[in-house]
Every structure is written in C-alpha cells, then in structure tokens.
Amino acid sequence: MKINDVILKTVSQAGVLIILTFGVYLFLSGHNQPGGGFIGGLVLATAFVLMFLTFDSDTVNKAIPFDFKKISAIGVLLAFSSSTVPMFFGQPFMSQSFGYFNLPIFGKTELATVTIFETGVALTVIGVVVNIITSISEDE
Amino acid sequence: MHLLILAILVPFLAAALIPFIHRRLGPVDIGWLVLVIPFVLFVIFAMQIPVISAGDTVTATLNWIPSLGINFTIYLDGLSLILALLITGMGTLVILYSIYYLSPADSLPHFYAYLLLFMGAMLGVVLSDNLLVLYVFWELTSISSFLLIAFWFHRKNSRYGAQKSLLITVFGGFGMLAGFLMLHTMTGTFSVREIVSTIGQYSDHALFYPAMFLVLLGAFTKSAQFPFHIWLPDAMEAPTPVSAYLHSATMVKAGIYLVARFTPIFGGTSAWFWTVTLVGLITLFWGSFCAVRQTDLKALLAYSTVSQLGLIMSLFGMGSAAIHFGDGNEGALYGLASFAALFHLVNHSTFKGALFMVVGIVDHQVGTRDIRRLGGLMAFLPITFTFAVIGSFSMAGLPLFNGFLSKEMFFTASLNAVSLPIFSADTWGWIIPVVAWTASALTFVYCMIIVFKTFFGKHKPEKLDKRPAEPSIGMLIPPAILSLLIVGLFFFPNLLGDHLLRPALNGVLPGITGAAPHITAWHGFNTELWMTIGIVVAGSLLFIFLRHWKKIYALLPEDWTFNVFYNKLLESVEDNSSLLTNRYMTGYLPHYFAYIFSFFILVAGGTLFLTGAFSFDFSTDAAIPSYELILTIVMAVAAVGILFAKSRLTSVLLNGVLGYSIAIFFVLFRAPDLALTQLVIETVTTALFLLCFYFLPEWKPENSPRNVKIRNAMIAVAGGATVTLIALSVRSGKLFESISGYYEDSYELAGGKNIVNAILGDFRGFDTMLESLVLFIAGLGVYTLIRIKGGKETRKNED
C-alpha cells in the first residue's frame, strides 16, 4: 500500500525527537516530579512506535539496530539484579538508598539507587511495547 | 559475605554465565570449566570437616525479608555436611563422566546449566535453616530435575517421565509447604533450629500431626517412597549421568535428609515411628521385588534405588525411637538405626553411582541396556566388569565392600526394633526383620542379575549395535574412584564414622550420646551374620531358578498398579477439565464478560450485602463543581454511545473519549502521574487499533435474541450498581487506620518528593519488579504466538 505521506514523515521526524527528549526528561524527573521508569519508558516506546508507523520496519531497524526482545530482557535483569545487590551488603532484599553528592557541573545532586531499578523498568516497557507492536504489524 | 553462602550462589551464577562463555569457547568442551566448580566447592566443604567433627556448627545469615522472619540463613552441621560433600563430590565425578558420555550433538550449555542449577538448589536445601528458603530450593531441585529428565525432549518418553516426576514431587512439595506454614503457626518461627528447641511444648497442638504428615508427604514424594515411587523409573529417560547424580545420589536423598532433619522435631512419637518405618519397609520390599523382573538395566537400578531409599527411610524411622528414650543405654541402642541410616546413605551413593556409570558405559559402548540382548561382556569390558562386581556386591551386602557393614547394622537395628517395648512394637515388631531379610534376599538376586546376565553367559554379537570395547579413560575414572571408596570404606569405616557420621548423628538425634558405634567388619557368629549367610544361600538359589519362579510376576494384576492409577487420574483430569473448559470457553467475548461480571456481582456485591458493609454518608462530601459534572455526563454519554455505535471507528473514538476523560479527571484530582500514564496508554492503544484496523473482521451489528439482550442488560446494570455501591461504601466504612500517612514521609524515607514513584520504586518495589517480569513474559508470549506459528521446529518431536 503506497500512500503519500510526506507530511507525516516530516512531522514525525521532528516529533520523534521531541517525544524522545520528553521521555528522557520524564524518566529522570520521576523521583521528585511526575514521571518515572514506567511512564518514561512508555513515552520513549511511543517515539519508536511512531517511527515504525511512518517508515517501514527495515529502515527503522537500520537506524536503530536494537533487538527489542533483548532490551526487555536486559531491563528485567537490571530490575532484578539491582534488587538483589543490597543483600550482598547486609541489607534486606530490595532496599534502596540515596545520597547527596557534589558533582562537577550539576552541583549538589541527589543520586538514588532506585534510578537503576527504574532504568530496568523503563527498558522492559520499551522492549515489550515495541516488540508487541512490531510483531503485530509485521504479521501477514 | 560468608564463604558458604557464596558456595550456594556460585553454581547459580555459573549457570547463568554458561551461555555467554560457551559461545566464546570454540572447540573446548565447556564441561572442563564446569568441572572446576563442584571440585572447588568440594574442597571448601571438606575443609569444614575438622570444625564439624570437633562438634561445632557454622551459621551465616543473609537478610532477605527480615520483617517476615524469612532470611537466607545457612546452618552447617554434620548432617548438612555429609550431604553437601555428596552433592559436590558426586557432582565432580558426574561432570567428568558426562564430558565423555554426552555427544557433541547434545546441547551441552543447557545440560551443564541445568546441572549447576540443580547443584546449587540441592546445596541450598541441605544448608538452609529457614523453612521457606528450604522450600524454595526444594522446588528448584524439582524444576531442574524436570529440565534434566526432559533433556532429550524430542522423545515422547522423556517428556512423559519429566512431567510425571514434576507432578508428583511438586504435589508433595505443596503439601510440605503447608506443613511448614503449620509449623510456623505453632512456633512462630521459620528457623529449624529454633523449632527444634521449642517443639517440645507444642506436641499437644492440634496442628502437630497434620504438620508432621504434610512434611512427610513432601519427603516421601521426593524420595520416591511407596506409592509415590512410580516417577523414579520413568525419570530414567534422563541421560545416564543425570540418573547417577540426581536419581541415586542426591535429589532423591532430599526427602531422606528432610526426615533426618525433622526427626528431632517429630521423632519420639509413635505416629512418626510407624509411618516412616513402615513406608520405608514397604518401599524396600516392593522396590527389590519389582527390580528383579526388569529387563532394562537402568530400570532395574531405578527400582533398586527405590528399594535402598526405603531401607534408609525405615532406618531413620526406627532410630527416631531413641528420642522417646532420651539419653541413655536404650536411646543409644535405637539410635544405632539412625547411625546405620547415615552410613548406608553414604554407601548407597558410592555403589549406586558406580553402578549407574557402569550401566552408562555398557549402554554407550554396546548400544543397549536390555539384559536379554546382553551377555558375555566380561571379555570385552574387563575394567568395567570389575567396577560392576564391586558395586553390585557392595549393594548385595557382601563382605570386603562397604555395603556389607551398613547392611549388618541394618539387621542389628531391625532386631533391636523387635525388642522395642514402646509403640506396641513387641507385638508387631517381628515384621521388621522378616521384611528386611526377604527384601535383602531379593536385593542379592538383582545384584547378581546385573553382574551375571551382563558379563557372563553367551555373547550375542548379532543382537548388539556395536562391537563392545572399553571406553575412553575419562569415563572409567569416576567409577574407579567410587570403587576405591567402596573398598576403602570397608577397611577404614571409622574414618568416616568418627569424623562425619558421628557429628551427623548429633544433628539427627541431638543429645543422644553413645549411639555411634565403633564399626567393625567382624562381629562374631551372631544372628546378623547368619542372616547374611542365609541371604547368600537363598539368593543364589533364587537366582539360579529365576526362570521358574519369575512366572509369579505374571500373576500380578496388570491394571491395578499405581502407574495405571496415575495415568487414569491424569487422563480423567485432562478430559474433565477440557469438557468443563469447552463448556464456558465459547470463544465469544460477550459470554466471557457475562461470566466475569456475574461472578464479580455475586462475590463483591454478595459480600457487601452479607457483611452489611453498605452505608451511605453524604454529609462530609465536597460540592461537585460544574465542570466535573459536565465531564461525568460526557463520559456517560460516550459509554452509552458505544453500545449504539453503527461503525467500528465510532466506537473506537468513543472509547478514546472515555479514556481521555478519565485522564482529565486525574488532572483535576491532582494526580499528574496517573494522568500522564493514562494519556500515553490511550495513545498507544489508539495506535494499536490503527494497526489492527485492516485485519479486523467485518463489523456486524449484534443480532442476539431478545432474552439474551435483556439478560446482558441486567448483568450490566447490576455490575455498574455494584461498583457504585462499593465506591460509595468504601469511604464510610473504615476498618483500619489509613496507611497513606506512612507514605507522606517519602522524602525522608526514600529521598523522593514524588510519592507515587517512591511507592512504585521503594515502598512497593517488589510489585513493580514482578510486574515488569510479567510484562516481559507477556511480551515474549505475544512474540512467540505471532512470529512462530509452529512448523518451524528444528527437531522433530515424537508424539
């Protein structure tokens, strides 16, 4: 099916960038403001879905050569292992910790181990959503 | 972290790493790398021997869920140490053996990953002090054993055997879990040591006996005790190294370990004494009886394992009487049985491991294990023959081999049990030595079958696939080491007895001193020796005239075995459940909704009604602003509109209206996180709809009969009413103090100002973790269902 989609392609190229930026922002701001791993991951996934919608999957696969199945697997592994690590330091399973550090450019910054956990969640969400949508759309 | 905790975790880590290492390894067999792990672990555990034999124990704790009293506590005493040494020692030999046994066509990374998984799980079982941790590892052994039995999953029998072992052992495991929870209810702790020290005050508790029988159910299913033994022969579909390791030396001993570990808790009662002893004796007899008729060498060994496990089990049963007597001469007298059980546990691992390896060699070098096709192999496999003789004669309980010593102690213990003045054993006790003697005579017969039918007699080359020859040296080393142990333990049994068995006995029968004897090979012309001589005479006669009396097996009713029962049960469960499922799984979505909502109305609405939780209270309600009212009306109109939509696009759009309106509500109620999520989800769903649009079937207006429509409408209205009633009642009926106050401290507790996220990532992070796991599995499921629509299988499966 050929449709004239110049406008769609042009708009989505800009749109994807905005959505990606917004997704990363949401992910990082999650600790103190609305956002977080799940929602950030979902927004990032929509950017990829938009790309798959406007361009054919071969082009997208060339542009982002990730195996989304593996991404979701890595996400689960990350979420799980970040929960087990505290046990090796005498803390209960799944304990998270946070602290304030003085970083060169950012100044006083709060770093929390929960971010690692959230990264895992985000990667899982991205991987699964994109994986499901591409498998459905590529089905003949 | 403690070295021993690491020892349990290392196999798991290694198993996870295997797929990555394997790819980089090239032609080198990954088995050589894997071999290092059990060997190092064996050395680590062996280094604990001086500590343990001095009477000390080792404990270490890793916090897991301290708030629920579930911690990864390991406890190493003599009993755990013996099993840990068996697991790692046998593990080393079995891996060395499998390097030569498996063919390159087999998926080696899978095999070794499963084997390591099993090893770690097994170590976890014997070292855990915490009941729930023990249970987790216990089920892990079932699962890894399932994977190993089904290793050649393209064979129908492998799949059948794997399923059978999983169903039976997990069934028992669930029972055991219930027993553990009862123990926790009684004593308030999950720690075995604490339960042992406090159980005395709970023997009158109503849950005491249920807990005992449920724990025993777990032990009996795992250790293949009658009538649960039927899974073990079918488990022989696993590769032979697996059979040698799991189904003779280690996993099946988990049940025996459990009985030993729980003897201080439940022992000393007549229920425990008779259940364990009798089940053990029946298993001993039935296993040896069935073993004689087998024509497959591995099946014969499987039944002999069943029988030997029964022997050990019955010994632990008899030994438990010592707890009733307490410390003293009588206690020591009966405690001897437990000592014999531990001794035989070790001996059985050595000779049965060796025999399985011998059978594996025969199978590997000749191409068959069928006794009817074998014969005269002594000339071709002289070294293997030697190992077979050592292993079999030890199992038969002949002198010069370690099996003789423990067999004599078994007789002593069974004779002691007769004189037992408790538990009315003085009237029924004679059963014990009689069954013991009969089963031992049968054991003698099948041991002779292994040796003489395989290695003597006429060689029948026309019935064999290959020309027999000795295997490579690597396959001979493991049985050689075990054979050396068999002979070595006969001449120096006290080395084992003093350093390992004595401390282990202390774990089984704490506070009973003097039960561990000095083991001597020559004990005079006493009853036990005469019993052995009788066995040799009777067994030889039975073996010689085997052809004549074997007909009695044909007399057994064919369709009254437990196997038939198991198959029938499985079949009827499958038939009935599919019958039931087909009745309501019509593939028609409205039906499903009708079921789901009817059930919901019945349960939720019914509960509301029965408990009288329903109440109205509008007095504290805030006023409803006009925009909220408008939004509600919009939603209601959209929802009703879906019902009357004439095209699919309209209904999709109306659905979207609903979703976005909910998002607006979230915004109004200051829940930006939820609003964001709702918006994105709505967008993704719409995208999915767009993708699927072309593939959906023709839109057909619903034309159901009038009465169906009325029924559906009633269900819908009732469902909506129930939800509304619940929503209205929730705010007026407060049973507990609200938990939300706790989360208000999220900034102090988790360092995050966003409460929603602090809950997701910190307070209830466990949910989030498992949810992402669920999401991942669902994604994989969608992928496999859509992408791999069958037909692409690389290996052809037998049906």
**Cβ-based contacts of A134 with chain B (< 8 Å):** none
The pTM (predicted TM-score) of the whole model is 0.80
What pLDDT score was predicted for residue B733?
Answer: 64
Query: For B559, which DSSP code?
Result: G
In angstroms, the CA B337 to CA B321 distance is: 9
**Cβ-based contacts of B789 with chain A (< 8 Å):** none
- Taking only the tens of pLDDT, chain A with its 140 residues reads 456 678 878 888 888 899 999 888 888 887 777 778 888 888 888 888 888 878 877 778 788 888 888 889 999 988 888 888 877 777 777 777 777 777 777 667 777 778 888 889 899 999 998 888 787 766 44
Omega before B227 within 30 of 0, i.e. cis: yes
What pLDDT score was predicted for residue B796?
Answer: 53
Q: Token pair of B675, please?
A: 């609003």
In angstroms, the CA B407 to CA B508 distance is: 20
What pLDDT score was predicted for residue A140?
Answer: 45
SS (H, E, C) A72-125: HHHHHHHHHHHHHHHHHHCCCCCCCCEEEEEECCCEEEEEECHHHHHHHHHHHH
Given A37, A69, A87, which is nearest B64 (Cβ)? A87
Q: Which of B300, B344, B350 is nearest to B479 (CA)?
A: B350
Mutate which of B72, B757, B780, B782 to test chain A, going by most A C-beta atoms within 10 A?
B757
Query: For B465, which DSSP code?
Result: S
In angstroms, the CA B317 to CA B126 distance is: 20
Query: Which single residue is written with the structure tokens 């059930």?
Result: B599
Residue-wise pLDDT tens digits, B5-18: 888 889 999 888 88
Residue-wise pLDDT tens digits, B20-64: 888 777 667 788 888 899 999 999 999 988 888 888 888 888 888
Q: Token pair of B472, please?
A: 């490579």
Q: Token pair of B440, please?
A: 């031992």
CB atoms within 10 A of CB B352: 26
Q: How far is A130 from chain B (nearest CA, A)?
A: 9
Query: Which single residue is written with the structure tokens 């010994």?
Result: B315
Selected residues 191-220 of chain B with any CB under 8 Å from a CB in chain A: none
Q: Is the dihedral of CA B143, B148, B149, B153 positive or negative?
A: positive
What pLDDT score was predicted for residue B459?
Answer: 77
Distances (CA, A) of A83 to A119, B86, B87, B132: 12, 33, 29, 19
Q: CB–CB of B65 and A93 under 8 A?
A: yes
E strand segments, B635-740: none
What pLDDT score was predicted for residue B134?
Answer: 92
What pLDDT score was predicted for residue A1?
Answer: 46
Residue of B nearest to A88 (CA): B1
Predicted complex ipTM: 0.88
Q: Is B238 helix (H, G, I), strand (E, B) or coil?
A: coil
Angle at the Cα of B547 (from B545 to B549), degrees rounded to 5?
Answer: 70
Q: CB–CB of A128 and B761 under 8 A?
A: no
Which ranges in B48-155 belong to alpha helices (H)?
Answer: 49-53, 78-101, 108-127, 131-149
Residue ranges for chain B with pLDDT beneath 50 = 791-795
What pLDDT score was predicted for residue B793?
Answer: 46
SS (H, E, C) B374-394: CCCHHHCCHHHHHHHHHHHHH
Cβ B398 vs Cβ B481: under 8 Å:
no
Q: Which amino acid is at B295?
A: T
Cβ B219 vs Cβ B179: under 8 Å:
no
In angstroms, the CA A15 to CA A30 distance is: 22
